[in-house]
Structure 1
Amino acid sequence: MREKLLLVGAGGFGRVALEHAQQAFDCALVDDGYVPGTVINGAEVVGKVGDIARLFGEYQKLVVVIGNNKLREKVYQEAAAIGYDFPNIIVSSAYISPHATIGSGCIILNNAVVQGGAKVGNGVILNTGVEVHLDSVVEDYVLIYTNSVVRTHAHVGRRAHIGSTLTIGNNVTVPEDGVVENGCSLSV
């Protein structure tokens, strides 16, 4: 029998993460925008976000798949206080160096790469094609969109929002809650 996993969020990220999580877990969803009992991509919506405490007996594992970094952090903090465990959802086409450090509750999608010495915090979403290079740091609850690159010794601060198809150059720091728009590049 497979372990049960509660995914918080049934929007775009939720549906993408669900497809991959279903390969390893028996998944259910919570989302404030859907009526409980609704089935999305084969998984039932079993409640609202406020129901995670009530659902803890049936589910011990939870991953938050909400793109809003501050809200994702808040839900993770509430779930941690309840006692949930936070597995990572790492797609088989992603490459994680054995010399990298990955936190918990992360979602790492197709063809993403995390190189040796890199540190990825908790609750991070690395979308398709993201590269996190040698010895860089991506702090907790960061969201990095498709095909973006975090170069060597770069530092992406907590809850930063990094758009698609951009490069954070070597030794560049993106501040906590920083936003880098699609297609921009930051260099020293």
Structure 2
Amino acid sequence: MPVLHGDEHIRRLREEENYQDAFVAIGSNRLREKLAGKAVSQGYRLVNAISPLAVISPSVRLGGGIAIMAGATINADSAIGDLAIINTGATVDHDCRIGRAVHIAPQCGLAGNVTVGDGSMLGIGCKVIPEQSIGNNVVLGAGSVVIASIPDGVTAVGVPARIIRQ
């Protein structure tokens, strides 16, 4: 596939080439959400990129514009919001709720009934025990272990995860 640089191609491809589907392949949650908004406003439909090596329960509800990478597992009755990334080898257990434009990094493990708020980033190898809530726009450092809910807009690191920045 040719790589086209610059946002000016979004409108041209829709109007002149009649492209209808788009996938925003950018890791930054905020930038992915911004560019997806541009694409949708131009009439594109956001499609999902799901590895054939991912395991997804048939009862999972998937949003649009999401990426699910190889080795990821998403179990029963979970919901994955629009523009989320479930990265390589991450596990999302039963009844989890993953918000809009969330990034679950490689090898993260979310136990059952975990909620992750919009725009949050869980660094590589994070673990979250059952029934915890991670707020909106949270950053969890690599290897953090969440044993108590995390409020909106903070950075938390460590084992157990401690808030280091409001």
* Shorter-chain TM band: 0.7 to 0.9
TM-score normalized by the length of structure 1: 0.75
Structure 1: which 5+ runs fail to align? 1-42
Q: Deviations over 1:90-131 (max 9, x none)?
A: 111101100111111111001101111100001111110011
> Residue 127 of structure 1 corresponds to which residue in structure 2?
87
1:114 aligns with 2:70: no
Cα RMSD for the two superposed structures? 1.1
* Distance in structure 1 (CA, Å) of the matches to 2:72 and 2:8: 32
The one-letter amino acid of 2:75's match is Q
> Residue 61 of structure 1 corresponds to which residue in structure 2?
21
The one-letter amino acid of 1:80's match is V
Give the share of equivalent positions with the same residue, in percent: 29
> Residue 97 of structure 1 corresponds to which residue in structure 2?
57
Within-5 A mapping of 1:1-188: 43-57=1-15, 58=17, 59-188=19-148
- TM-superposed deviation, 1:86: 1.3
* Distance in structure 2 (CA, Å) of the matches to 1:73 and 1:176: 14
| Distance change in 2, residues 1:49/1:117 (3 Å) | same
* Distance in structure 2 (CA, Å) of the matches to 1:164 and 1:178: 14
* Distance in structure 2 (CA, Å) of the matches to 1:151 and 1:97: 15
* Distance in structure 1 (CA, Å) of the matches to 2:147 and 2:7: 39
* Distance in structure 2 (CA, Å) of the matches to 1:76 and 1:86: 8
TM-score normalized by the length of structure 2: 0.84
The one-letter amino acid of 1:46's match is L
Structure 2: which 5+ runs fail to align? 149-166
The one-letter amino acid of 1:47's match is H
